[in-house]
Structure 1
Amino acid sequence: MGKFCTNCGDPRSDGGKFCSNCGAAFPTESAIAAEPIPVEATTSVAAGGSAEPAPVPVPAPAASPSELVEPPPPTGPPIAVNVAPAAPGAASGFVDRVKQLTGLERVQVGSAVAAIVAVFLPWLRSSSDSADAWDVPSLFLLGDETTDRGVKVAVLVLIASVVALVSLVIRTSASRTMLLGAAIAITSIGALFLIQVNRAIQMSTRSFTDVIGIGPLVLVAAGIALLVVSMRLRDRPPTSIG
């Protein structure tokens, strides 16, 4: 408990509740305990010996969005960026090329493909087995039935079919001659095979229709179709596929 009056500073008598000088009431112990203790301001001693309050740092105000510094615009001419268009897929490109073919050119492609398929079909038939163009030697077309050596007929047909297809792709002045030569070769191979088979069964009891397969018949039909296309395209200038 304080020993002086907080109002006038007169000494306080023990046990009294009021100041004998000014009559102010003395604070109770609970009120004194509840009063906050003042915190003395931090001071600093200057070089001359006098105490001065220490400066309190003041935070800088935040910059507004309008005061933010924007980067300078780029200088010099604009840079052009060329973006290549996406290449069409292989499937769509093939379909577009097929759509550009004329009717005769589509017959040419179909006939060449049919000739290729023909070499895998049966060429000769028997009661227990069959043979295709890969089993027939090319010398058989010339009447030699005793040898099994030499290039097979299937190889000759494939070469002529590829030439017929290539003549459609290159589209030059020589493409018509290439197509005509391929058509003659395909037709001749099929026809010569049929003639030699017919000659070989003359001394046999079996008929021609019993031994011949469907392969040479398809080949002859494909060769005749190529001959017709070659004749129809002979006087037309070659065009290019865009």
Structure 2
Amino acid sequence: KNNPSFIQMIKEVLSGFFRIILITLSGALLIAALLSNNKFMLGIEQFSGIKVSYLVPLLLVLAIMWLKVNKGKLMILENIKKPILIEHVIIMVFFAVFLVIYISRSGNFSFLPVLSIEEKIRIFLEKTLIARPRNKEFLIGYPALLLAMSMNYLKIKEFKIPIIIIGTIGPVTLINTFCHIHTPFLFSMLRTFNGTWLGLVLGLIIIIVFYYLVKIFRKKINYEKV
């Protein structure tokens, strides 16, 4: 879209965002219902495979995006034969580091220490909101998801796939919240609500800034062409 409407973009992004939230929440409630037995509620048994459940959806989204880009074909050998550019190396290194941090910080145990600033944010949110949302949900996942949808509306392809994958963290975290069946249901609902509105506010700020930066950049490009 050469001159995309800001209001229309916001409408489409919000519509897509809330559809994703509702579909994800439906799945999360189904999982919670399946896990609703005394052993899980008393903490005698716990949902296993937490780290796997965080990783697999991201890999599935990556596979879907790969097939979409290659028009339904794997194209593995064809892509291997292509020359590796410096930006490809940078992206691969970034994602390798990102995955290590993401997986290690998921679940109940982590070999990476919690940063002091992160600990302060957690304490503040617990005191303010009671049910503290997970940082990766509202600070990373939902803003990235909103940004990816705005990029799709603005027809921007560069780096869209990595941002979509990062945006998957939001819905995945929402589902994981309801896998802790020993946590009171209403507490999980409040945590989900807090994560959603915080992520939405932060994401809207990001896409508003992004929209006007894109508008300025495109205006400059068009001016230089003239």
TM-score calculated relative to the size of structure 2: 0.30
TM-score calculated relative to the size of structure 1: 0.28
- Structure ID, larger Rg: 1
**Greater relative contact order (Cα < 8 A, sep 6+):** 2
